[in-house]
Structure 1
């Protein structure tokens, strides 16, 4: 798109409960329209309950909002940062209404999701489209969105640092014999160079239904494994490995956080199943890379730091989980660069991408990341009826 004069940035995220009393209402929001009874929701609430009913995502978004504001101020860019969530307070419709009441008329959205799929891109565009209709602001308040940034240098750079540090730490543990002693496969201090190199990198992301994966991305392009969502993760992982000089190190793309009917095919393998497979094959150490996530929210804290970590330690692995981008200075600067690609003031004409798939699109084409459950109003699409 041509640069525009935006008057605010809208940071949009998933949202999460902030206390035990919030858990069920939050889960009702997440699953609305599916007819799931509270009894079933309570069964799946244990990871929130175990953390006091608090998801870390809201605190992380407050920190990201503050970091964006600081970076904008450092560059002399006078754009306020608004914040709204899909499933919890502050909600997107309320934030849009307040933005309009405060005099804003043209917003540029930045979402906390880097990849292309229904839930990670189109659903946000639907959230904005439906919120504009709900508030009566359609035609009065304009909302655009920055491109998906899975291969923007600002998103990839923190993972490059994390993978390098993670590999060094795991190899150091193996060289010291600690993981081998835990597994009971060798006496203390007898780790060999071969064992120290027996490390596997697991790039991990949220699983989604296979049908949604195949519907991700524009219809006029072909992607690895017939999915833009999968192809983007594979390409980002390869770029990270090349940047770290670790292209020959064994690695896999794995998935987590599957939900829904067991009869519906979802992307596999699950990280825990892959860990079992690696242990049987003689792998000694693993580096877990939360490649699909911007920050350490509940799917990272529970599914990786609790469940996958327990599995890893139970199998005797030397294991490290590397950080998410969070408020890493390069990530924050990269998000502001994405804003500057689209603004008249402080415009950045260069559109960097570290994979051959990008740079991704400012405006989604009709049918991109299709909603297989039925079309809804959207923003940032080339056809309002089907984009």
Structure 2
């Protein structure tokens, strides 16, 4: 049925001259103040303008090519190779029906529906584009859970509090993300469920779920607490060490490296706390195994595996969302 796999990701710059246009692509239409972009641009300068995400994605694509006979194409939402260009290449190559793996485990607007929008936009831009079918969420897949658990084990500090972190979103977007799923809050509920499953794998009775990398105007409420603020709160409670797991992210990129390896680590050092940061799941060989399993699952070659109790979403075809009102963007407040 399918003759290719499209690996669809967020994108990242690979040089200082690419940073500002990349950031402008990311926030286009969102009302993010220029001073916020200035601050994030400074973060990229510490890494010569190179995000690690593209290199990690290419490594994962290489691992997938070792595991599947299908050609694997690479496209991004915000930077080259842009998904529109990749879909045009696929069309020239005669691809007719492709599966799509999007590098987000969760629901929500940015994590899920925006990838549907990427697919629909790319197909609209290319005459004769192939059918594109996006695979399901994988936040509760056993291999994703095991990879994150072992990443924590690898850096665990005796007596440390484990803190799971994911990208913050506006609370209004999180509420909208669950329609029509029961109870709403699809994104934050799925992140919390993934954390619960990993904590269970580790035998942890206590742990925390916090957020990072908010970028919106200060008057708009976002998911809290922030990871740096939470480290301060733990210190006040007498916690002597923390291990941070970026469970909301598949790959390192500048937000992960800057917010955790710099800001969070520096705050812990300032407070005299032990600190370690677990790796993301993407480099673990089981992650590539999971992608291939999701493909086989979609083809009904293997039964689906999911450990969680929180509603997930199935595949989407040609950018059509799972449900009409699912994972809508938050409405911007009137000024």
TM-score normalised by structure 2 residue count: 0.93
Q: How does 1:22-171 map to 2 (within 5 A)?
A: 22-34=18-30, 41-72=37-68, 78-137=69-128, 140-167=129-156, 170-171=157-158
Deviation at 1:301, TM superposition (A): 0.8
Deviation at 1:358, TM superposition (A): 5.2
- Give the SS at the match of 2:264: helix
How far apart, CA to CA, are the structure 2 residues paired with 1:101 and 1:143?
15
Structure 1 residue 221 and structure 2 residue 177: aligned?
A: no
Quote the RMSD (CA, aligned, Å). 1.8
User: Does the 8 A contact of 1:24 with 1:38 survive in 2?
Assistant: no
- Give the SS at the match of 1:45: helix
Structure 1 residue 230 and structure 2 residue 191: aligned?
A: no
Alpha carbons of structure 1 residues 116 and 39: separation in structure 2 relative to 1, 3 Å: closer
User: Does the 8 A contact of 1:203 with 1:237 survive in 2?
Assistant: yes
Structure 1 residue 303 and structure 2 residue 245: aligned?
A: no
Deviation at 1:237, TM superposition (A): 1.2
Q: Report the counterpart of residue 207 of structure 1 in structure 2.
A: 168
Q: Report the counterpart of residue 315 of structure 2 in structure 1.
A: 362
Alpha carbons of structure 1 residues 43 and 356: separation in structure 2 relative to 1, 3 Å: closer
Provide the aligned length of Structure 1 versus Structure 2: 327
Rg larger for:
1
Structure 1 residue 241 and structure 2 residue 241: aligned?
A: no
How far apart, CA to CA, are the structure 1 residues paired with 2:35 and 2:246?
31
Q: Report the counterpart of residue 177 of structure 1 in structure 2.
A: none
Alpha carbons of structure 1 residues 33 and 358: separation in structure 2 relative to 1, 3 Å: closer
Moved more, 91-100 or 35-44: 35-44
Deviations 1:291-337 (A, max 9, x none): 10001111111111111111111111111111111221111101110
Deviation at 1:230, TM superposition (A): 1.2
- Give the SS at the match of 1:110: strand
How far apart, CA to CA, are the structure 2 residues paired with 1:312 and 1:297?
21
Alpha carbons of structure 1 residues 101 and 240: separation in structure 2 relative to 1, 3 Å: same
User: Does the 8 A contact of 1:285 with 1:317 survive in 2?
Assistant: yes
Deviation at 1:359, TM superposition (A): 5.7
How far apart, CA to CA, are the structure 2 residues paired with 1:35 and 1:158?
36
How far apart, CA to CA, are the structure 1 residues paired with 2:39 and 2:309?
43
Q: Report the counterpart of residue 338 of structure 1 in structure 2.
A: 294
Deviation at 1:349, TM superposition (A): 3.2
TM-score normalised by structure 1 residue count: 0.81
Moved more, 115-124 or 362-371: 362-371
Structure 1 residue 350 and structure 2 residue 303: aligned?
A: yes
Q: Report the counterpart of residue 319 of structure 2 in structure 1.
A: none
Q: Report the counterpart of residue 284 of structure 1 in structure 2.
A: 240
Q: Report the counterpart of residue 210 of structure 2 in structure 1.
A: 254
- In the alignment, structure 2 segments of 5+ residues that lack a partner are 317-321
Q: How does 1:317-332 map to 2 (within 5 A)?
A: 317-332=273-288
How far apart, CA to CA, are the structure 2 residues paired with 1:258 and 1:40?
10
Structure 1 residue 270 and structure 2 residue 226: aligned?
A: yes
- Give the SS at the match of 1:324: coil
How far apart, CA to CA, are the structure 2 residues paired with 1:39 and 1:204?
25
- In the alignment, structure 1 segments of 5+ residues that lack a partner are 73-77, 172-196, 375-387
User: Does the 8 A contact of 1:353 with 1:359 survive in 2?
Assistant: no
User: Does the 8 A contact of 1:106 with 1:142 survive in 2?
Assistant: yes
User: Does the 8 A contact of 1:10 with 1:83 survive in 2?
Assistant: yes
